[in-house]
Amino acid sequence: MKLFSFPLASLEKAIHKRVLTLPSPHREWFTERWAQKPYKKAFVENKAMPLVTLVAKGKTLDDAAFAELLQEWEVTFYDAEEEVLRPLIQGDGLLQLMQKNLPPARAEALLAKLTQRRLPADATAASAPTPSPQAAEPTID
C-alpha cells in the first residue's frame, strides 16, 4: 500500500531546475542520460520518488520504521545523481516545505545513503579485473 503520492510533474520540474545549476562534468553526464526515456523513468521511480517518500515519511515515522525503510531502499548513486538529489534532502525550491520538519538526524541518514556504495565516475575502470602482484612481477630463475 502506498501511503504517500507526490506529483510526478513537480518532482521532474525540481530535478530539471537542479540540472541547470549542476557543475560542468555532472551536468553533461546527467543531461545525456536524462534525455533517454528508460533512464528518466527508472531514475524517477527507483531513486527520486523513494527519496521524496522517505523525506515525507521521515517526519512522522518512529526511528525503527524509518531505519527499516532506508535499509530496504537498495540503490547505487553516481556522482551526478547525488548532486541532483542532494537539494531534495537539504531543502531547495519546490520541495522546501516538505523538508521543514525533517529531523536533522534523518536528513543526515538520507545524505549518507546518497554517498554510500556510490560507483566511481569511471565504472569501467573499476570493473576491470586487477592482476595479482605475483603475476605482475617477472620471476628471475
Does 123 map to a domain? no
The reported pLDDT for the residue numbered 107 is 81
Half-sphere exposure in the Cβ direction for 36 (13 Å, CA): 8
**In order along the chain (141 residues), what is the average pLDDT of each group of 10 residues?**
62 85 89 92 90 82 86 87 84 56 79 69 43 46 46
Does 137 map to a domain? no
Does 104 map to a domain? yes
Does 128 map to a domain? no
Does 91 map to a domain? yes
The reported pLDDT for the residue numbered 29 is 93
Rounded to whole angstroms, how far apart are CA atoms 12 and 10? 5
Residue 19: domain span: 8-117
* Overall number of domains in the chain: 1
The three-class DSSP label of residue 102 is coil
Does 131 map to a domain? no
Rg, the chain, Cα only = 19
Q: Which residues of 44-70 are buried (b: 16+ CB within 10 A; e: fewer)?
A: beebbbbbbbbbbbbeebeeeebeeeb
Does 1 map to a domain? no
| Three cell numbers written together for 20 | 541547470
